[in-house]
Structure 1
Amino acid sequence: MKRKEYLLRSILFVPTYKEKFIQKAIHTGADALILDLEDSVPEVYKQKGREIIKKYIDKGVFKNLQVFVRLNPIESKILLKDLKYVLHEDIDGFMLTKIRTAEDMIYYDKLITQLEIDKNIEAGHFTFMPLIETTLAIMNAYHIASASDRTIALTFGGEDFLNDLEGLHGNPPRCFDYPRAYIALAARAAGIKAIDTPYLAVNDTKGFIKEESVSFEMGFSGCLLLHPKQIALANQCFVPSPEEVQKSREIIKSIEEANKRGSGVAMLENKMIGPPMKKRAEKVLRIIELIEQKVKLEVMHEER
């Protein structure tokens, strides 16, 4: 099946054991929501979280949103219980936790394939966003990224990685330099997106913009978020500049004009437009198109 294109600039974590968190999250305008059943949900409330997700699925609340569920890891022994409540067409996919090797991804792929068959859900419907949050996962990042066709992004879990590394969280966090670079490389080599770790200081606007602007330069498509106030900032950071958008339009226009003239060579500002420039321009304009589509859907939703 042809994989849906996802806009993933801002991905908001939503603890699921309180309905008010979900009620607020669905109106925030985040590109995607992560309904969390793992770290942010105390053990005694996990069943409540599952039931609340199921309640909102049954209401059709998630139908026109991009929604993923962060599952408890394989070793938790409650993974199948999570899946029992969240397997539905209105859920786009799953954030997979404690992924260490490609074998973990293959396990999930086979499991979800069988569950899709059992639930009569279209084959390949559910997508994966594995969390890269250990030193072993960093070293296996490309193999993890390419192990399943369901995988749409690698996501960086910086704090768990830091704990595994036994490193220090400096300012800026130098321990993140290598894993960020490697995750971006591994994801892009596998043809998927890279998503940055959450920025913990939710009230530090300048710090957020500084750090995530660098992540965008490194090849990341977006970042995980802990608070709705970070959504507009992420949407601002992970988007091409107006100047690049305009330049991209000029590049495509020059190519189209050259084609009309029967010329295989397009020029812009007395410079030849090479294939890499064309590809970059197409990617930039596709991002803008996805953003415009999202805005239209939001307007339609409000009018209803």
Structure 2
Amino acid sequence: MHSPLDRANSAPPVPARPSGPTWLVTPGIAPARFGTAVGSGAEVVLLDLEDSVPAESKANARAAVLAFAGAWTRRSGGPLLGVRINAVDGTEGLRDVAAMGEKGLWPDLVVVPKVESGREIEAVVQVARGAQAPPKVWALIESPRGVVGLPGIVHAPGLAGVLFGAADYAAAAGCQLTSRAMWYPRAQLVTAAAAAGIPAVDSPFFSLDDQDGLRRDAMEAVELGFAGKVAVHPHQLSVIAQAFAPSPCELAAARAVLDAATLAAKAGGAITTVDGVMVGPPLVEAALAVVRRAGHRPAVTTTSVTKAS
């Protein structure tokens, strides 16, 4: 029989993380910014064909984004390149997907906006299957109907992850764009994503000059269980990265839990204490999550924590 620590250490993290917590969205109508975005340090760069592009500029933005995607070669350690297409229940979204398929110019990931059912994801996944390297397809949830429909959306075949769109959600729900008003939909999104074993990424914080507000909002995202957060300006990236990285004290505490659990497993037990606090399987799982957030695997092995049968 294996200890809880053994099972947790040998299993992949759930929900799976994207490449990193920092996402940067850039208007698809501004190709001069594309190079700056990919050099910003963001782990995912998202070129936007939807909200930031006026109707009369959709075709030009599509051409610019696909040209950049075609010339893009990801360097080792470089960001993933994503594209937020238009909603697939409209003409422009269908044109976006058709152009990618016809030209074979797929980014690393495609974000589908205003998703309210799994059918919208399935449609994009079906077209993307013809790509030499099919992109990861993400759903952007930004309406009350999308939140209510999460159980069906997160289990759509081929879905890689979900993002939250707070501004559109607030407008559709008739609520304020405040932290407290967003607690419920954010928690629903994280819960549904965790149940499906996929990551959830939080909405941008739109006040560009409020770094303290951004820090609080990013820390809330960490507490809720989000795997990352979208930035709307490069100067937001460092705050987001700091929020999602465990502090030295948090990391040390997590390692102490793992060390204690390893010793307990060697002695044939699954429960131990650390600094007077009882530590069982749930706290071991939490400690493992902290270590993974720091980018390190725990210093335990499947042989060192095998519980005697």
List per-residue Cα deviations over 1:24-70 (Å, max 9, x = no partner).
10111012111111111122322222222233233334454212110
Q: What residue number does 2:161 align with?
A: 153
User: Is 1:11 matched with 2:23?
Assistant: yes
The two structures have a TM-score, normalised by structure 1, of 0.81
Aligned counterparts of 2:154 and 2:106: Cα–Cα separation in 1: 24
User: Is 1:131 matched with 2:103?
Assistant: no
Q: What residue number does 1:70 align with?
A: 84
Pick closer, same or farther for the CA change 1:86–1:14 going to 2, 3 Å: farther
The answer on whether the counterparts of 2:16 and 2:199 sit within 8 Å (CA) in structure 1 is no
Aligned counterparts of 1:78 and 1:210: Cα–Cα separation in 2: 36
User: Is 1:284 matched with 2:293?
Assistant: no
List per-residue Cα deviations over 1:105-154 (Å, max 9, x = no partner).
233333323xx2xx4x24xx321221111111111123211222x32322
Q: What residue number does 2:93 align with?
A: 79
Q: Which runs of 5+ in 1 are unaligned?
A: 292-304
Q: Which has the higher contact order (CA 8 A, sep 6+)?
A: 2
Q: What residue number does 2:183 align with?
A: 177
Q: What residue number does 1:301 align with?
A: none
Pick closer, same or farther for the CA change 1:286–1:44 going to 2, 3 Å: same
Higher helix fraction: Structure 1 or Structure 2? 1
Secondary structure, counterpart of 2:72 in structure 1: coil
1:13-52 equivalent positions in 2, closer than 5 A: 13-52=25-64
Aligned counterparts of 1:90 and 1:84: Cα–Cα separation in 2: 11
1:102-251 equivalent positions in 2, closer than 5 A: 102-113=118-129, 116=130, 119=131, 121-122=132-133, 125-148=134-157, 150-169=158-177, 172-251=178-257
Number of matched pairs? 279
The answer on whether the counterparts of 2:82 and 2:110 sit within 8 Å (CA) in structure 1 is yes
Aligned counterparts of 1:26 and 1:58: Cα–Cα separation in 2: 14
User: In structure 2, what residue type is equivalent to 1:55?
Assistant: A
Pick closer, same or farther for the CA change 1:175–1:219 going to 2, 3 Å: same
1:22 to partner: Cα distance: 0.4
Give RMSD over aligned pairs. Answer: 2.7
The answer on whether the counterparts of 1:7 and 1:290 sit within 8 Å (CA) in structure 2 is no
Q: What residue number does 1:299 align with?
A: none
Q: 2:114 aligns with which of 73, 90, 98?
A: 98
The answer on whether the counterparts of 1:33 and 1:66 sit within 8 Å (CA) in structure 2 is yes
The answer on whether the counterparts of 2:49 and 2:61 sit within 8 Å (CA) in structure 1 is yes
The answer on whether the counterparts of 1:68 and 1:92 sit within 8 Å (CA) in structure 2 is yes
List per-residue Cα deviations over 1:196-254 (Å, max 9, x = no partner).
21111011011111222122111122222111111011111122222221122223333
User: In structure 2, what residue type is equivalent to 1:81?
Assistant: R
List per-residue Cα deviations over 1:240-277 (Å, max 9, x = no partner).
22222112222333344555x56444744465542222
